[in-house]
């Protein structure tokens, strides 16, 4: 793989951080020679030293996406390029002896491998291997009672995850901000197609049981899913409500359909509406089973 060409680089220190800038030379008519023009920050050097691995800004990577496939390290006046593999790590990093907690994530890997989850994520979020990042964040949420996203980096340092490279809170926020409704629908439609394919493949004429749950939360709660433990139930919340309805395969427990409705609509009506529409599925012999979740809003939302 050919290394991409770096633009002109400057390294300047601000506080304890060394920032990386690029610039363009401009012609000075009075001096009749070129001089350095306005500079633009494109990243920083990790580790607090002038030499080290460059963490490029997202704005620079959007302009120059070829740099996503390389680790760039400053060594003196030279810059060393190391190709990254699919998980965002280098061969050297893979060869380093490092003790990581892997038992719980290995078990999650097996569950993902035995279900359509991994392929559905890959199908819906292929850009920049976001599906691996989303899966790693899900592992973090599942395995930690305190799922404050600012603690993800510490968790990732000692845990084997599908995405091996570090993810700062700002990077995680960007991953979530990029998610569009069409991608979510693609993710769930993958499961619907799988269910239809299995029913046709095995000629299953038995009834298919689908579990339904509808619950409400405020706009503030919906937009802060990672901190649900801090919020109150709907009867104590004066903010506008949203009804969320989820539909899962009863046997596997995998969710493959959801809808958000106006909070003014009673939860029972949203359930009946989805049943009447058959959830957009072309399934026969379907039995809907409503599951009433009363433990916490967090359980209902993430399940």
Q: pLDDT per residue over 157-184, tens digit each?
A: 888 889 887 788 888 888 888 888 889 8
Residues 6+ apart with CB under 8 A from 183: 124, 125
In a domain, 150, yes or no: yes
Residues in the chain: 303
Q: Are residues 62 and 118 in the same domain?
A: no
Please state the φ and ψ torsions of residue 85, each to the nearest 5 degrees: -85, -170
Does 299 have pLDDT greater than 50? Answer: no
> Same structural domain for residues 223 and 293?
yes
Domain tally for the chain?
A: 3
Give 57 or 86, the one with higher predicted confidence. 57
- Tell me if 90 is assigned to some domain: no
Neighbours of 141 (CB within 10 A): 14
* Residues sharing a CB contact under 8 Å with residue 86, sequence separation 6 or more, in sequence order: 129, 132
How many Å apart are CA 201 and CA 198, to the nearest integer?
A: 5
Do the beta carbons of residue 17 and residue 26 sit within 8 Å?
no
Q: In this predicted structure, what is the pLDDT of residue 120?
A: 87
Separation CA 219–CA 238 (nearest Å): 10
Residues 42-63 have a mean pLDDT of 88
In a domain, 248, yes or no: yes
User: Among the ranges 62-71, 271-280, 286-295, which has the highest mean pLDDT value?
Assistant: 62-71
Does residue 192 lie within any of the structural domains? no
Identify the DSSP state of 208.
Answer: E
Q: What is the pLDDT of residue 199?
A: 65
Name beta bridge partners: 159: 101
Average pLDDT, rounded, for the chain: 75
Please check whether residues 62 and 104 belong to one and the same domain: no
Q: Which of 293, 259, 58, 72 is nearest to 173 (CA)?
A: 58
| Final residue belonging to a domain, choices 83, 106, 135 | 83
Residue 62 CA: distances (Å) to CA of 81, 123, 128, 247: 19, 22, 11, 36
Would you state the pLDDT for residue 134? 92
**In Å, how far are 83, 163, 194, 218 from 98, measured between CA atoms?**
20, 16, 38, 43
H-only helix segments in 114-261: 117-124, 130-143, 152-157, 169-177, 181-201, 219-222
Give the CA dihedral 303, 136, 279, 283, nearest 10 degrees: -110
pLDDT at site 247: 78
Which residue carries 């930690």 as its tokens?
A: 144
Query: How confident is residue 259, by pLDDT bands cut at 50, 70 and 90?
Result: confident
How large a percentage of the chain has pLDDT more than 90?
7
Determine, yes or no, domain membership for 1: no
275 part of a folded domain: yes
Asked if residues 171 and 95 have their Cβ atoms less than 8 Å apart, the reply is no
Picking from 177, 211, 237, the residue at the C-terminal end of a domain is: 177
The average pLDDT across 6-26 equals 88
Q: Does the pLDDT of residue 78 top 70, yes or no?
A: yes
Structure confidence at residue 271 as a pLDDT band (50, 70, 90): low
Q: What pLDDT band is residue 234 in, cutting at 50, 70 and 90?
A: very low
Domain span holding position 133: 98-177
Do the domain assignments include residue 251? yes
**pLDDT band at residue 150 using 50, 70 and 90 as cut-offs:** confident
**Mean of pLDDT values over 107-120:** 86
Let me know if residue 117 belongs to a domain.
Answer: yes
Identify whether residues 107 and 173 lie together within a single domain: yes
Tell me: pLDDT of 265 over 90: no
What pLDDT was estimated at residue 148?
A: 82
* pLDDT confidence bin for 151, thresholds 50/70/90: confident
């Amino acid at each position: 793989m050919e290394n991409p060409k770096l633009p002109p680089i400057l390294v300047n220190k601000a506080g304890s951080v060394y920032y990386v800038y690029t610039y363009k030379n401009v012609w000075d008519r009075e001096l009749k020679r070129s001089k350095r023009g306005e500079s633009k920050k494109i990243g920083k050097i990790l580790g607090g030293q002038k030499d080290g691995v460059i963490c490029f800004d997202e704005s620079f990577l959007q302009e120059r996406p070829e740099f996503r496939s390389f680790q760039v390290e400053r060594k003196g006046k030279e810059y060393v390029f190391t190709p990254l593999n699919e998980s965002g790590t280098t061969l050297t990093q893979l060869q380093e002896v490092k003790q990581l907690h892997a038992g719980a994530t290995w078990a999650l890997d097996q569950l993902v491998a035995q279900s359509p989850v991994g392929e559905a994520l890959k199908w819906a979020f292929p850009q920049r291997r976001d599906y691996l990042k989303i899966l790693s964040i899900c592992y973090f949420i599942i395995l930690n009672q305190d799922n404050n996203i600012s603690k993800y980096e510490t968790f990732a340092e000692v845990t084997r995850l599908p995405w091996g490279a570090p993810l700062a809170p700002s990077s995680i926020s960007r991953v979530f901000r990029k998610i569009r409704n069409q991608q979510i629908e693609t993710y769930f439609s993958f499961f619907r197609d799988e269910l239809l394919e299995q029913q046709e493949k095995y000629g299953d004429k038995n009834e298919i049981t689908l579990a339904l749950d509808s619950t409400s939360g405020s706009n503030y709660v919906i937009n802060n899913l990672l901190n649900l433990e801090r919020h109150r139930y709907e009867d104590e919340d004066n903010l506008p409500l949203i009804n969320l309805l989820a539909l899962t395969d009863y046997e596997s427990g995998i969710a493959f359909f959801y809808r958000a409705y106006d909070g003014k609509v009673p939860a029972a009506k949203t359930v009946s509406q989805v049943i009447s529409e058959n959830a957009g599925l072309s399934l026969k012999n379907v039995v809907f089973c409503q599951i009433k979740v009363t433990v916490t809003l967090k359980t209902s939302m993430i399940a």
